Chain A
Amino acid sequence: MDNPIVWLAITFAFYYVAGLLRKRTGWVVLNPILITIIVIICLLKLSDVTYDTYQEGGKYIEFWLKPAIVALGVPLYKHLNSIKEHFIPIFLSQLAGSLVGIVSVAAIADVLGATNEVIISLAPKSVTTPIAIEISSTLGGIPSLTAAVVVPVGILGAVLGYKTMELARLKDDISKGLSMGTASHAVGTAASMEINPIHGAYATLGLILNGILTSLFAPFVLRIMGYL
């Protein structure tokens, strides 16, 4: 079990099976990313294999994170006209969503006694994982803790997002999509895509824009709040 290729094969296989399971059952909680991470951690612990051994193969999967973020430039280009048309409301809502996301998570965690390292790791929690990991590591957080929080945040948005928006009386299609993408990144985007493709398109936009804005604001906001 010390062979990294075996673990690569296991990773591919479980992710595929978990994806099938979600399709069959339709349960959002059966997030393939979450399931695969949990199963592999259990397997590593049971077979006494270290993370370093796993990562010898795992680094080849992780390598594709950065090019995948670059590829988001393509849907961003697709939405340029629509962004221009609704520029002010989209910009204002993203600005508010990004700032409120960083400030609220940091303030609540601080009040409840989290350490600075943990607060920094939580700050980018609404942003899609690859971007969140980069923000966390450039600012001195714990990237894996960030990754571990981002997925549940996404699932939370996917499960409770539409109920929350109904209670908050959000009716506009664009605002619903933007909210899901801004708060719950790719997982929220997938959920809105299933409900309405227009929601899905704007969720993608929210996911991209919040990624950019949070990368820009997180260092300043965290410095002003005294965590950096």
Chain B
Amino acid sequence: MGTILQLAIIFACLAVGEAVVMLTGIKFPSSIIGMLLLCTLLKLGVVKYEKIKGVANTLISNMGFFFIPPGIAIMLYFDIIKAQFFPIITAAFISTIIVIVVTGWVYQLSNRKKNG
């Protein structure tokens, strides 16, 4: 029964997220609202870390698998990709390198300032 209860908690958080998005009409992923809610419930002690970590770890460690179907949907968009192959690849490549460098530098500089 443990697994069922843990899944019930996770789906309840997701359901609240869906309800918030539906009622307010905000453009925000319902799953992120659910994630923040779950974190809050853990912090408040309503949900126990030791009990939920099993199912949570299973879901997280298999996250990549769950997105194979949406990934396969790319076969419907080969035309767009072929037409704009160069901008897509170049922008993604350069931007990734920039993000790595900027994130790391900002952390190191602001951390040094705090300590120094």
| A interface with B by C-beta (< 8 Å) | 11, 15, 32-33, 36-37, 40-41, 44-45, 51, 54-55, 58-59, 61-78, 80, 86, 88-90, 92-97, 100-101, 104-106, 108-109, 112-115, 117-118, 122, 125-126, 128-131, 133-135, 138-139, 142-145, 147-149, 151-153, 156-157, 160-161, 164-165, 168, 170-172, 174-176, 178-180, 182-184, 186-187, 206, 208, 211-212, 215-216, 219
Contact = CB atoms under 8 A, between A and B. Distances in A.
A109 B108 contact: no
Interface of B: 7, 10-11, 13-14, 17, 27-32, 34-39, 42-43, 49, 52-53, 55-57, 59-60, 62-77, 80-81, 84, 86-88, 90-108, 110-111, 114
Contacts of B55: 71
A223 to B, nearest CB: 11
Given A36-B68, A130-B67, A182-B99, A69 B32 contact: yes
Q: Which secondary structure dominates chain B's binding surface?
A: helix
Given A88-B110, A108-B94, A77 B29 contact: no
Question: Which 3 interchain pairs have the tightest Cβ spacing?
Answer: A73-B38, A58-B69, A97-B103
Nearest to A145: B77
A148 B75 CA distance: 10
Contacts of A100: 95, 98-99, 102-103
Q: Which secondary structure dominates chain A's binding surface?
A: helix
Residue with the highest number of chain A CB atoms closer than 10 Å, among B14, B64, B105: B64
Nearest to A42: B75
Contact of A72 (B35, B74, B97, B98): B35
A186 B65 CA distance: 12
Nearest to B54: A74
Contact of B92 (A54, A61, A72, A152): A152
A122 B96 CA distance: 11
Given A71-B56, A105-B92, A114 B68 contact: no
